[in-house]
Amino acid sequence: MTFETKMKGRQLYDAIGQPKTIVAPMVDQSELAWRILSRRYGADLCYTPMFHARLFATEEKYRNNMWSELDGDKEKDRPLIVQFCANDSDYLLKAAKFVEDKCDAVDLNLGCPQGIAKKGNYGAFLMDDWDLVYKLIKNLHDNLKCPVTAKIRVYDDWEKSLEYAKLVLNAGAQFITIHGRTRDMKGQATGLANWEILKYLKDNLPKDQVFFANGNILYPSDLERCTNVVRCDAVMSAEGNLYNPGVFWTKSDDIDKQFARVDRMLREYFEIVKSCPGEASKHSMKAHFFKLLHAFLSVHTELRPVIGRTSVHANIDDWEAIVVKVEEIVAKIYEQSNIVELDVITVGEVQTWGGAYKTIPYWRCQPYFRKVNGEKQNTRVLKVAADRSQKNAVEQNRSEIAGKRKADDELQVDDRKRIDTTA
């Protein structure tokens, strides 16, 4: 493929099968084994973990730890987009050259909001340097065999968000993924992604622009809701996919696909890990065990320290023993005479954000609800990113206060005049 003939936007999207469900790029969490598992449960397109461009370009050990001969394999790991974080265009291009023949595109991370990204000056913290963002994307676009894409976050300011998205596209990005949260919305300050700003951006970018939405995906049913609101080409999930790979299953309402039993999901994942070459899949295994089992471990707490003290470098038999223990516990659960009544999913009332929370048996994969000030997401009202209605209410309140102050000042002036006249 020459630079002149490499695919652009809609052509590329069509060539990779018009994906609708996407595994997000995550730090050490969207590695090969996880991508293989996620594809089995409905993921159409996967991103690699976020790779550090300078390290990938200059350190063979880092590169070998992150990338194996099976990564980007045409039979087992495509379509695939490789993501890098960077703040140097030369290192970024050099890193991308290592993978340009083993992926469908290279993505620039402009969305990571974590402290390590701030310290390293990459990810969402490049939102403060538009010239550098343009330079990074343009250099890839001009010099790489495969297309370049980008993933960004929004500002509170809708117009600024639109101008930023346009800059990213003008630099040469063929796909744009937009996370509907701002850079500050992380950890304890998290809240809801704003699908309305995503819809605004989609409506005001070129009509044929390939647009992926990211944020607020808890259940398979949320995929269609997001697509209908934003009118996006596809929906990406990070945390929702990590805790339940079945979040992408939309082919049927099969409970064992959408909310699989943790013993079966864990076994399937573990067998994939054992078959994967390289180190990345093994290094990520402990984190995936904890996430897949998060609700299960809240009941069977005795397993938590066992997983915690087992090294990813330990004998594979030590991990096998953990998987077997989970299988034994779940098998006993299904021996209960009333399991048919227990093993059901109930749907709650529709919330202000448009969806409804589900109550799922703890032995099945399910979303994780982060606690903020000790209160879980599904028990409180959440702040919405870039909320125009909230902003308008604040501005209206400020205007009313200013108007009242002006009226009070005028009244005071009138009172002084009356006093002077009386005197």
CATH of the domain at 20: 3.20.20.70
Q: Is residue 113 part of a domain?
A: yes
What DSSP character marks residue 357? E
Q: Is residue 371 part of a domain?
A: no
Tokens of 423: 């005197």
Report how far residue 60's alpha carbon sits from residue 65's, in angstroms, rounded to the nearest whole number: 8
Check whether residue 385 and residue 248 sit in a common domain: no
| End residue of a domain, out of 229, 252, 275 | 252
Report how far residue 181's alpha carbon sits from residue 39's, in angstroms, rounded to the nearest whole number: 26
Q: Is residue 204 part of a domain?
A: yes
Report how far residue 313's alpha carbon sits from residue 177's, in angstroms, rounded to the nearest whole number: 35
| End residue of a domain, out of 224, 252, 280 | 252
Number of domains in the chain: 2
Q: Is residue 346 part of a domain?
A: no
What pLDDT shows up at residue 409?
A: 57
Mean pLDDT by 10 residues, the chain (423 residues): 73 98 94 98 98 98 96 97 98 98 97 88 94 98 97 96 98 97 78 93 97 96 97 97 98 97 98 96 97 98 98 95 98 97 95 91 93 64 76 45 52 48 37
Please identify which of the residues 103, 112, 146, 276 carries the catalytic annotation. 112
Mark whether 112 is an active-site residue.
Answer: yes
Report how far residue 156's alpha carbon sits from residue 183's, in angstroms, rounded to the nearest whole number: 9
Helices (DSSP H) in 172-236: which residue ranges? Answer: 195-204, 220-230
| Domain range for 410 | 380-415
Q: Is residue 264 part of a domain?
A: no
The pTM of the full predicted model, rounded to 2 decimals, is 0.89
| End residue of a domain, out of 252, 277, 305 | 252
CA atoms in the 13 A half-sphere facing the CB of 1 = 16
What pLDDT shows up at residue 114?
A: 84
Check whether residue 235 and residue 384 sit in a common domain: no
Q: Is residue 269 part of a domain?
A: no
Check whether residue 215 and residue 70 sit in a common domain: yes
What pLDDT shows up at residue 401?
A: 41
Q: Is residue 300 part of a domain?
A: no
H or E element, residue 285: helix 285-292
Report how far residue 9's alpha carbon sits from residue 233's, in angstroms, rounded to the nearest whole number: 12
Q: Is residue 288 part of a domain?
A: no
Check whether residue 246 and residue 385 sit in a common domain: no
